[in-house]
Amino acid sequence: FNFSINKLRDYQIECINLINQSINNNIMICLPTGTGKNFIIANFIKQRYITNPNEKYLILVPLMAVIII
């Protein structure tokens, strides 16, 4: 994968900055479908890995969407 910080949109950069500020707290990213939530977290991890290569990362995702009607 070739992720580049230059290809991030302003709101994605803002999300990464908020994640960095909340590094010792829980955080939830709520954005509409197709706005790059996975791209945001991938770029965040890439940035952290460059400066902290020994850190471990765990990403949890649901196996199926939960829909409440």
Q: What is the pLDDT of residues 5-33, one digit of tens each?
A: 568 899 999 999 999 899 888 888 889 98
Q: Are 4 and 46 in contact (CB under 8 A)?
A: no
Segment holding 69, helix H or strand E? none
Q: Are 40 and 29 in contact (CB under 8 A)?
A: yes
Q: Which residue has the higher pLDDT, 43 or 2?
A: 43
Q: Which residue has the higher pLDDT, 54 or 23?
A: 54
Question: What pLDDT sits at residue 15?
Answer: 93
Exposure of 48 in the CB half-sphere (CA atoms within 13 A): 16
Please give the model's pTM, rounded to 2 decimal places: 0.71
